[in-house]
């Protein structure tokens, strides 16, 4: 058998476990400080401030919903 032949490896999963932090759980560390900064820095432009603030907030809720549904999906398997 040739070592580069991948057809007869079996069904084992040969991926290495990840050693770094799960970045999907660290994303709130980015957008949590951004929300007050948007409110403070765009004080003179309320239309842009509100649109950007609510857009980032909607993205935060979408990210949270993704994490929760991904967690429920992993538990059901």
CB 47 within 8 A of CB 11: no
Q: What is the pTM of this model?
A: 0.66
CB 55 within 8 A of CB 35: no
Provide the residue ranges of all domains of the chain, joining segments of one domain with +.
23-76
In the chain, the N- to C-terminal Cα span, in Å, equals 35
Q: Which of 64, 65, 60 is nearest to 35 (CA)?
A: 60
CA distance 57 to 34: 10
Confidence at residue 29, expressed as pLDDT on a 0 to 100 scale = 92
Res. 76: pLDDT tops 60: yes
pLDDT digits (tens, 9 = 90+) for 15-57: 777 777 788 888 899 889 999 999 999 999 999 999 999 999 9
CB 8 within 8 A of CB 1: yes
């Amino acid at each position: 058998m040739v070592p580069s032949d991948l057809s007869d490896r079996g069904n084992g999963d040969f991926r290495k476990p990840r050693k770094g932090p799960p970045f999907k759980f660290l994303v709130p560390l980015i957008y949590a400080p951004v929300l007050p900064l948007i409110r403070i820095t765009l004080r003179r432009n309320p239309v842009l401030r509100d649109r950007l603030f609510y857009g980032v907030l909607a993205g935060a809720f979408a990210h949270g919903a993704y994490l929760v549904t991904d967690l429920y999906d992993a538990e059901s398997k």
